[in-house]
Structure 1
Amino acid sequence: MSQHIFGEVGTLIFLAFAVGLDAFSVSLVIGLQKIRLKRIAIISGMIGFQHMVLPAIGMILGQFISSQVGAFTTLLSGLLLFFIGAHIFFGAFATEQKHSPHPYGFGLWILGFSVSVDSFPIGLSFGMSNIQSFLVTITFFIVSSSLTLIGLLIGRRIQGMLGTYSEILSGSILCAFGLAVIFSS
């Protein structure tokens, strides 16, 4: 009995890690911008929150939605990442006074959604099985928040070495990552 529970939890942690790697990759890029520790904590919490909410919604709707949603959410995630990257990239060339490039307000929600949306179909599949929703949502929150925090801190450290080219680099990486997500689906 305990081996079965351990196997379920191990699989869940592995899935949460795999889904959270998107957030880690994107947070590395965001960390390349000048960003304060308070903002890093907020971004990590928001991405973790959305990694918790989207699978929960997926579990609730799991029995009602077909398997076609998985491909759609992957495409949506890729498009959102690409457009966020394009915005950052072209914003680096703007000559007017720029507002802070850090994710704030609605932009932070969009960012969180774009890296968390791939957890929705996992929630759908869990909704059709007997996995406890509390365990899934807490695991996804902890793992994705931790990976985001680590990525932001690493990116922040690297940013000082890159200087003004960090926005161009971060926008280019996000565009490439978005295209990779789109074309891998």
Structure 2
Amino acid sequence: MTHTLTEFISLLFMAVAIGMDAFSISLGIGMQKIRLKRIAFIGIVIGLFHIIMPFLGIIVGKFISTQIGELTTLAGGLLLFGIGAHMLFSAFNHEEGRVVQTNGFKLIVFALSVSLDSFSVGLSLGLSGVKTALTLIMFGVASMVLTWAGMILGRKVHGVLGAYSEILGGSILSVFGLYIIF
């Protein structure tokens, strides 16, 4: 019971950390005064991509884990730490004034770009043997809700939390990477 609760809480924090990137970018998009109906649709698309990408990562990670055996936990932890560190450093190298388009194919490209890091996280989780369905649901729901929250908050506030949310997300992923390693 304790191991299951610990795994659930760890996955919840990872899901929120993964969704922080979408939250951060959604703050800027929300400042474009997008209608609520469009905000709902964008959040759903981003949530779906945060299910698809880690699923692909988990599949690849499980395949790799059967090939390299004992080193999978270490590799998964190092990968999570690296992704978190990358998020932290990229938060300090943030380009301002970039407007993201959310129509048609541009929405697909946007959702893919925001969810690419979840592929890597899925890869490391596949290496460590995590519960797939629970992980995917949590990642999708967390990023969808954080996207909605970011866009709605972006309508109200103009850019106060952007970089700080990426720093928080990167920190959480790095800590969980270290937790897996040690």
Q: Normalising by the residue count of structure 1, what TM-score does the alignment of the two structures yield?
A: 0.67
CA distance in 2, matches of 1:87, 1:145: 22
Unaligned runs of at least 5 residues, structure 2? 66-71, 171-182
CA distance in 1, matches of 2:98, 2:150: 21
Shift of 1:150: 0.5
Deviations along 1:55-106, one digit per CA (max 9) or x if unpaired, are 000011113499698879x69xx7xxx89x7763xxxxxxxxxxxx740111
2:79 and 2:124 in contact (8 A); partners too: no
Deviations along 1:126-147, one digit per CA (max 9) or x if unpaired, are 1122211100100001111111
Quote the residue 2:133 is aligned against.
134
Q: Secondary structure at the match of 1:103?
A: coil
Quote the residue 2:58 is aligned against.
59
Q: Secondary structure at the match of 1:25?
A: helix
Higher helix share: 2
CA distance in 1, matches of 2:142, 2:7: 16
Quote the residue 2:104 is aligned against.
105
Q: Tell me how large the CA RMSD over aligned residues is.
A: 3.1
Quote the residue 1:28 is aligned against.
27
CA distance in 2, matches of 1:38, 1:119: 26
Quote the residue 1:123 is aligned against.
122
1:52 and 1:140 in contact (8 A); partners too: yes
Shift of 1:3: 0.6
Distance change >3 Å, CA 69–CA 104, structure 1 → 2: farther
Q: Percent identity?
A: 38
Deviations along 1:112-169, one digit per CA (max 9) or x if unpaired, are 111111111111111122211100100001111111100100112236xxxxxxxxx8
Q: Normalising by the residue count of structure 2, what TM-score does the alignment of the two structures yield?
A: 0.68
The 4+ residue runs of structure 1 with deviation greater than 6 A are: 65-72
2:51 and 2:136 in contact (8 A); partners too: yes
CA distance in 1, matches of 2:39, 2:145: 11
Distance change >3 Å, CA 112–CA 123, structure 1 → 2: same
